[in-house]
Structure 1
Amino acid sequence: MTRRTLMFLVALATGCSALGAPGGEPPAAGPITLAIGRDTTAYLRPLLDRWNSAHPAEPVTLLELPEAADEQRAQMVANLQAHSDRYDVLGLDVVLTAEFADAGWIVPLDRGAFPLAKFLPPVVDTAVYQDKLWAVPYTSNAGLLYYRTDLLGTEKPPRTWAELRDQATRLGRDKGLGGYAGQFLPYEGLTVNFAEAVQSAGGEILSPDARRVTMDPAVATTALDFLVTGVRDGWIPQEALSFKEEESRLAFQEGRLLFARNWPHAYGPATHSAVAGKFAVTRLPGRDGPGSSSLGGVNLAVSAFSRRQQSAIDFIRYFTGLENQRLVLTEGSFPPVWTQLYDDPALIERFPYLPVLKEAILTARPRPVTANYNQVSLAISSAVSGALSRTTPVEETVVNLKRQLGEVIRSGG
């Protein structure tokens, strides 16, 4: 019995009966395509070349999707709704697991085929839905506060919103820089920034099972007002309302911002920019102390319509292996999913932010696990954008948002 045949039988025995190409054929090997968000740090192709050199009969082709997570989703959904076999391995934002599993677009995987016990526990949870493993964690993510060490001088980086507001206003004015920016364009990034503000004020938006709106209006008002007054008072520059991840990364590394909220992948490029040697990162500030990030990252799933599912599984096992995960960090500056890499002295010397990042990931909060997440996110980003542009008052925004989220949940999306 071959190893692949054995794996297929194990998958069937563990409840993964959906594994198999369209038409019911057993998983097959051959050329595959990886569909994943745009590689902004140019690290992916060399890693894929390593696989292709070792697997000439199963080469992987990289298909880069847009940078923004909601645009990635839109392209994937169009493909999968058509039952196209163009995509084999899907690089899914962690919030998409439930939706794609519920729709039957991805196949369940055998837990025993992957070293999940060696991964960061919160990261593994993002790949599980209804007690089944639907994907394998590839990168994790937690938002960090980037700050200019040279401009803060002897001052410590902010731990609270009040400290951030004070330093962004006072030092930003003195140095002629924008004070603070996150991702405030109305898209998934704005949903994340708002969720982090609510969490960092001690609240939540939905219950963990996403069946109830648990957003406390007073807490949500406090969180949203923090951002809105920042724009109104100028320590959040007006241009930040058009920022996604790349725009905020460039603004910081070009020396135009004192503080910026971004993911860890922005760290590597900044070390080769105008702020090289002049910046560091810390946890996001909160209302009364260190805040809480939204848990981000990318999981690798197998398309239910792939005709090369065996090669797709083998590739995922390789791409999430320890050696490759080290390269994901060292070459791409993306947070790996293996716990031991965060405690490696050599890596910490090269990437001093690893201890902070590990703490940020372990204290991060997942976004609601719901097949209707896209509708939830659209409601949040649209409402928050109206408040930031001062089209709708903060209190009215919160009341309307809570009602809209309730409607989404009751309608089932």
Structure 2
Amino acid sequence: MRRLAPVLVAALLVSGCAGFTGERDTVRTAGADGTGPMTFATGRDTTGYIQPLIDKWNRAHPGEPVTLLELPEAADEQRAQMVANLQARSERYDVLGLDVVWTAEFADAGWIVPLDRSMFPLDKLLPPVADTALYQGKLYAVPYTSNAGLLYYRKDILDREHLKPPRTWAELREQASRLGGKYKLDGYAGQFLPYEGLTVNFAEAVHSAGGEILSPDGTKVTLDLRSATTGLDFLVTGLREGWIPQESLSYKEEESRLAFQQGRLLFARNWPHAYGPATRSGIGGKFGVTRLPGPDGPGSSTLGGLNLAISAYSKHQKSALEFIRYFTGLANERSVLTEGSFPPVWAELYDDPALIKRYPYLPVLKQSIMSARPRPVSAKYDQVSLVIASAVSDALTFRRPGDETVATLKQQLSEIIRTP
């Protein structure tokens, strides 16, 4: 909690400054028809596939070249840098790569411009993905990549035991406990460090238990004590019984990916990007993926991904619009999968026989995305996420009982939502 306190204070200050109106419309108008060089600010490209796509654009548009500006890998740090830039009304960033859950916040603050939806083939995208780009009925961004959590499992071990991958929390608990001990492996891990990843894991547990955190419009706290406590207890019980290792309390995506592909975990919750590296590791050919389990059957994943938006302070918004249309086109979306190992947003790619042969997890991933639920949608998402991660961390480290944690969290969220 002490570690999060300064960040929370900073986020509160940022949010308090975000609601300006001032010169918003003037700024948009000034850059709406502008063309010229652009900067594309997004998270670090860990696979190196983005620059070749930008190079192709630059060769065809020498008067409107794009420079890739890679921000930190962690989403929290990406957001902090973008917010600092936008609050300063800087024209340095033109195109922004936004976590799907930031659309509401950035649109509400006037930091990104609304787009003409007729210019984009939204009907060809996976429906839940297209919805992440909307705020108050208007299109403010364009989906570029999607994401949904998957359960990675050691198929070789389950096959040896004549078992199918777990569909329920009870099956996961039994297999992780018994087989973990038998094969000298840790049972199960997700992302349990108190940061955005913990918010995601908690939201998945709550949604899988049939609950919600906020109303769809983000104006009411709908956290149900029963379902939220049920979801939280699934994680707390695993840590208390040991089939979730204590080490996982320090895991982000990369740490949990490495633990699984190094053969230290029987089960792991992670995003699809972990699939490619695992196939090239020592467990290549020995693992499989399936949907996340829930209380009574397959659970609900958190819907992730990246949307592209145009900064309200860009002087070259016309060029930025054309670049986004190019970058989110079908050909580049195929590269998102084949070169970047990220889930594309075009629906037809998930039904392509050639791609399914190469990426056999696509049908499972499509099911996971279609049944996924978004994180709480709120213009104050930064505060919401920090409070959730801090509260859940208290429960996972046994500093506060689960039911008390949920009750306190509901009160804290209500205070955030009520604050102007």
TM-score relative to the length of structure 1: 0.93
Matches of 1:183 and 1:123, distance apart in 2:
23
Match status 1:257 vs 2:265: yes
User: What whole-Å deviation, never above 9, does each CA across 1:141-197 have from its counterpart, x for those lacking one?
Assistant: 110001111111121000000011111111111111111111111111100100100
Select which of 92, 96, 99 maps to 2:102: 96
Q: How does 1:267-282 map to 2 (within 5 A)?
A: 267-282=275-290
What residue number does 2:153 align with?
Answer: 147
What residue number does 1:14 align with?
Answer: none
Deviates more, 1:130-139 or 1:246-255: 246-255
Question: What secondary structure, in the 3-state scheme, does the structure 2 residue paired with 1:36 have?
Answer: strand
User: What whole-Å deviation, never above 9, does each CA across 1:377-402 have from its counterpart, x for those lacking one?
Assistant: 11110000111111111121111111
What residue number does 2:369 align with?
Answer: 361
Select which of 384, 397, 402 maps to 2:392: 384
Task: Return structure 1 stretches of 4+ with deviation > 4 angstroms.
Answer: 18-23
The letter of the residue matching 2:260 is F
Q: How does 1:14-413 map to 2 (within 5 A)?
A: 24-153=30-159, 154-412=162-420
Q: CA deviation at 1:89?
A: 0.5
User: What whole-Å deviation, never above 9, does each CA across 1:356-390 have from its counterpart, x for those lacking one?
Assistant: 11111110111222101111111110000111111
In the comparison of the two structures, how many residue pairs are matched? 395
Matches of 1:381 and 1:266, distance apart in 2:
23
Q: CA deviation at 1:215?
A: 1.4
Question: What secondary structure, in the 3-state scheme, does the structure 1 residue paired with 2:220 have?
Answer: coil
Q: CA deviation at 1:122?
A: 0.8
Residues 143 and 307, structure 2, Cα contact 8 Å, conserved in 1: yes
User: What whole-Å deviation, never above 9, does each CA across 1:48-97 have from its counterpart, x for those lacking one?
Assistant: 22222222222211111122222211110001000111111100001111
Matches of 1:29 and 1:411, distance apart in 2:
40
Q: CA deviation at 1:353?
A: 0.7
Flag structure 1 segments of 5+ consecutive residues without an equivalent.
1-17
- Identity of aligned pairs, percent? 74
The letter of the residue matching 1:354 is L
Matches of 2:242 and 2:267, distance apart in 1:
14
**Relative to structure 1, is the Cα distance of residues 379 and 283 closer, same or farther in structure 2, using a 3 angstrom cutoff?**
same
User: What whole-Å deviation, never above 9, does each CA across 1:277-324 have from its counterpart, x for those lacking one?
Assistant: 111110000011000011111000000111111121111001100000
Q: CA deviation at 1:212?
A: 1.7
Q: CA deviation at 1:23?
A: 6.7
Q: CA deviation at 1:229?
A: 1.2
The letter of the residue matching 2:58 is N
Deviates more, 1:332-341 or 1:61-70: 61-70
The letter of the residue matching 2:191 is Q
Flag structure 2 segments of 5+ consecutive residues without an equivalent.
1-23
Q: CA deviation at 1:22?
A: 5.7
Question: What secondary structure, in the 3-state scheme, does the structure 1 residue paired with 2:217 have?
Answer: coil
Matches of 2:396 and 2:261, distance apart in 1:
24
Q: CA deviation at 1:43?
A: 2.0
Matches of 1:162 and 1:237, distance apart in 2:
17
**Relative to structure 1, is the Cα distance of residues 186 and 325 closer, same or farther in structure 2, using a 3 angstrom cutoff?**
same
**Relative to structure 1, is the Cα distance of residues 319 and 19 closer, same or farther in structure 2, using a 3 angstrom cutoff?**
farther
User: What whole-Å deviation, never above 9, does each CA across 1:190-243 have from its counterpart, x for those lacking one?
Assistant: 001001001111111111122222111121111111101111111111111111
TM-score relative to the length of structure 2: 0.92
Question: What secondary structure, in the 3-state scheme, does the structure 2 residue paired with 1:146 have?
Answer: strand
What residue number does 2:15 align with?
Answer: none
Residues 21 and 27, structure 1, Cα contact 8 Å, conserved in 2: no
Deviates more, 1:198-207 or 1:295-304: 198-207
